[in-house]
Amino acid sequence: MGFGLSIEATIADALAEHGWAVAASFLPPGLIHALAADTRERLETGEFRAAGVGAGAGHAVRDAVRRDDIHWLEPPGAGAAQQACLARFEALRQSLNRALQLGLLDFECHYARYAPGAFYRRHLDRLAGDDRRALSCILYLNDAWLPEDGGHLRLYLGTDSLDVPPEGGTLVTFLSERFAHEVLPGRRERLSLTGWFRRRGPA
């Protein structure tokens, strides 16, 4: 499966200019469909858990803040669809490092499932006391999403905001320490792969 560099270049240019980027068709429809099927299979086998907030001893499930369920992707047990997806993100990491000198070291990610009406209140992805997360990435896995389905990502851009519909294949990237964001409630199940490119932590 071959991929060109045009999407990587577009993302790099947008990140350099704005600090965020929205790219349609980051992955082909067949791979998006396979990832969505993998997500639902893992949901059915009970591999998802209620997502929490905070880190370490402060980590807790707080329904007033977020109501999604997640499953972390672990490369050693990844199937073919996951491997292809992770390879695509690795190519993006290398391209962004070449273009922007971001020092991105690795990528961690999980599937996320929002039931109808679920949300995630406004927040930053940078964890307290841990500055390794540098670039947030959200890849949508939804088929035939309609405007009336809701479930948009609201990205706060200073005094303005941008609402991005969770259309399958779309990738949203933004600087983790800079942009607060939230997931608005939707009228149908909403699937995504959410991850972070990380820099090296303290020695």
What is the SS3 assignment for 103? coil
**Does a structural domain hold residue 60?**
no
**Does a structural domain hold residue 58?**
no
Q: CATH no. for residue 143? A: 2.60.120.620
Distance CA 196, CA 147 (A): 27
**Does a structural domain hold residue 137?**
yes
Query: pLDDT above 90 covers what percent of the chain?
Result: 82
**Does a structural domain hold residue 95?**
yes
Interval 144-152 mean pLDDT: 96
**Does a structural domain hold residue 82?**
yes
Distance CA 186, CA 120 (A): 11
- What's the pLDDT at 203? 52
**Does a structural domain hold residue 35?**
yes
Domain encompassing residue 78 = 6-50+67-198
> Comparing C-alpha atoms, which of 174, 135, 128, 132 is closest to residue 153?
174
Interval 48-61 mean pLDDT: 82
**Does a structural domain hold residue 194?**
yes
Among 57-61, 94-98, 148-152, which stretch is predicted with the lowest mean pLDDT? 57-61
How many domains in the chain? 1
Tell me the angle at which helices 6-18 and 80-100 cross, rounded to the nearest 10 degrees.
50
- What's the pLDDT at 74? 85
Q: What is the mean pLDDT of the chain?
A: 92
**Does a structural domain hold residue 61?**
no
173 close to 15: Cβ distance less than 8 angstroms: yes
Cα 202 to its chain centre, rounded Å, is 24
Residue with tokens 């929205």: 22
Q: Is the pLDDT of residue 143 over 90?
A: yes
The model's confidence at residue 2, banded by pLDDT at 50, 70 and 90, is very low
pLDDT digits (tens, 9 = 90+) for 66-105: 999 999 998 766 789 999 999 999 999 999 999 999 999 9
pTM metric for this prediction: 0.93
- What's the pLDDT at 1? 41
